């Protein structure tokens, strides 16, 4: 593990602290600054926004629009917030939403109708291997069934979806199997299981702790940072299955240094605050099996029916993950903590659906705050201004590109075999690497072929 040790004071692993970088390259702070310029008539054209600002605006408009609000999502291409509204008598609220800078779209299904459909699915089709989440881009419920849902179970699910009515839901089949991503092996260890550390936090009593997946927390009480090593943390709270998949693990040594950062291998990304996810938002995941991967948020408030039981309130994405990545950190380019890896289907070769526990919900439930920021609660961190000056982490845009080549991501730091054992196979390098980018602060991440994302 790439974390230093201090005599008499064990230094905690950085959040998601793992091994080799995966195929994705992270886009670091300042690469997507907000642009406030545009026509003086705010109603004439939607504003260009960063994803974090779009999330804040969506929350405000949801309250203002009331029953007319039918969900929202972030259009990454246009960098705009799209807000769904159900036409009604009060057109003034729609005018106000446009003046606020949103791209307003009229749709057929209200949030009440969509949530009602989800309630019907829960009562009539809670079948292991299924999931559903409201997709604001289609204004429908996205229902997914994995490869185990066949025969009578498939017929029951299909009949329930059809019973919701035309235009209410879509039904898709996944080639994989929904499962939690826990494995025997690397990163944080407990009871023969391997998971990934999500984010370091400060517990409600002021002691250092970290968040990970709840199904890791219920698997065993004590966790170590080395296979067969001495325990460094003890589970304080864990939820799984049920209303979430999260656990708070307190470090046994109260003098533990627990930095609020994600370890990317040869560099770290500072985590400034927790934030709500937005559909369409680009996110990054770090885990002990597959390293760094990226993708988009597909749905919110997702329900997943794992073999172990039903979990609600999750974030659905297309970011890949594999066994051992459970509990790992989901975050944004500018250092916002978004989620903890729960489970899903597929792998990082063929892809698949993945689900994450929202960090804001976990922090509120366990009474913790991110890193050493004991002054701010989860609610304060979930929105508003970014931490650390203009953007969390500071610094100018970071270059990958040609200058980002460097050491291969294989070697001793390789991502290893999922079943556990050593920290990684020596031939696990996939051509990705880390190196010096073109930024003022000299940091950057990119692939050896020059494909690293740049500011």
CA distance 283 to 18: 18
Instruction: Name the 3-class secondary structure at 96.
Output: helix
**Bond into 241 cis (ω within 30):** yes
Other C-beta atoms lying within 10 Å of the C-beta of residue 170 = 14
DSSP letter for 115, please: H
Other C-beta atoms lying within 10 Å of the C-beta of residue 283 = 24
Spatial CA neighbour of 220 closest among 160, 266, 87, 212: 212
Determine whether 326 is an active site residue: yes
Determine whether 396 is an active site residue: no
Note whether 9 and 257 are within 8 A (CB): yes
CA trace torsion 370, 376, 378, 380 (10° rounding): -130
Determine whether 3 is an active site residue: no
Catalytic, out of 56, 186, 196, 215: 215
DSSP letter for 12, please: P
CA distance 142 to 119: 13
29 contacts: CB under 8 Å, gap ≥ 6? 333, 334, 335, 391, 392, 393, 394, 395, 397, 398
Estimate the share of the chain in helix, then strand, then coil, as percent rounded to the nearest 5. 15, 30, 50
Catalytic, out of 72, 183, 326, 342: 326
CA–chain centroid gap for 227, Å, is 26
CA distance 288 to 211: 15
Q: Looking at the DSSP assignment, which residues form a beta bridge with residue 6?
A: 9
Note whether 126 and 310 are within 8 A (CB): yes
Catalytic residues, by residue number, are 215, 245, 326
């Amino acid at each position: 593990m790439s974390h230093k040790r201090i005599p008499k004071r064990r230094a905690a692993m950085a959040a998601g602290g793992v091994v080799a970088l995966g195929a994705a390259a992270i886009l670091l702070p300042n690469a997507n600054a907000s642009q406030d310029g545009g026509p003086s008539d705010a109603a004439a054209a939607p504003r260009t926004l960063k994803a974090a600002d779009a999330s804040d605006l969506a929350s405000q408009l949801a309250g203002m629009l009331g029953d007319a609000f039918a969900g929202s999502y972030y259009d990454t291409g246009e960098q705009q917030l799209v807000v769904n509204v159900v036409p009604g008598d009060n057109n003034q609220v729609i005018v106000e939403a446009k003046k606020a800078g949103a791209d307003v779209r009229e749709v057929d299904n209200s949030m009440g109708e969509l949530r009602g459909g989800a309630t019907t699915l829960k009562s009539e089709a809670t079948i292991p291997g299924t999931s559903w989440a409201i997709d604001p881009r289609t204004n429908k419920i996205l229902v997914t069934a994995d490869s185990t849902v066949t025969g009578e179970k498939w017929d029951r699910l299909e009949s329930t979806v059809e019973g919701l009515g035309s235009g209410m839901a879509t039904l898709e089949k996944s080639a994989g199997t929904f499962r939690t991503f826990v494995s025997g092996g690397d990163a944080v260890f407990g009871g023969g299981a391997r998971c990934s550390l999500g984010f370091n936090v400060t517990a409600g009593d002021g002691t250092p702790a970290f968040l990970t997946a709840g199904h890791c927390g219920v698997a065993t009480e004590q966790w170590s940072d080395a296979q067969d090593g001495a325990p460094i943390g003890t589970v304080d709270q864990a939820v799984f299955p049920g209303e979430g998949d999260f656990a708070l693990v307190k470090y046994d040594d109260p003098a533990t240094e627990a930095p609020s950062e994600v370890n990317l291998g040869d560099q770290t990304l500072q985590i400034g605050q927790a934030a709500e996810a937005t559909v369409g938002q680009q996110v990054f995941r770090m885990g002990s099996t597959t390293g760094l991967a990226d993708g988009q948020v597909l749905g919110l408030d997702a329900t997943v029916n794992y073999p172990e039981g039903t979990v609600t309130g999750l974030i659905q994405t297309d970011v890949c993950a594999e066994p051992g990545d459970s509990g790992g950190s989901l975050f944004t380019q500018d250092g916002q903590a978004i989620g903890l890896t729960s489970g899903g289907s597929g792998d990082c070769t063929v892809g698949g659906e993945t689900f994450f526990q929202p960090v804001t919900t976990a922090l509120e439930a366990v009474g913790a705050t991110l890193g050493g920021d004991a002054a701010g609660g989860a609610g304060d961190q979930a929105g508003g201004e970014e931490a650390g000056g203009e953007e969390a982490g500071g610094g100018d845009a970071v270059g990958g590109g040609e200058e980002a080549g460097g050491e291969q991501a294989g070697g001793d730091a390789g991502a290893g075999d999922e079943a556990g054992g050593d920290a990684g196979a020596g031939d696990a390098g996939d051509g990705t690497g880390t190196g010096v980018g073109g930024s003022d602060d000299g940091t950057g991440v990119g692939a050896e072929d020059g494909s690293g994302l740049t500011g």
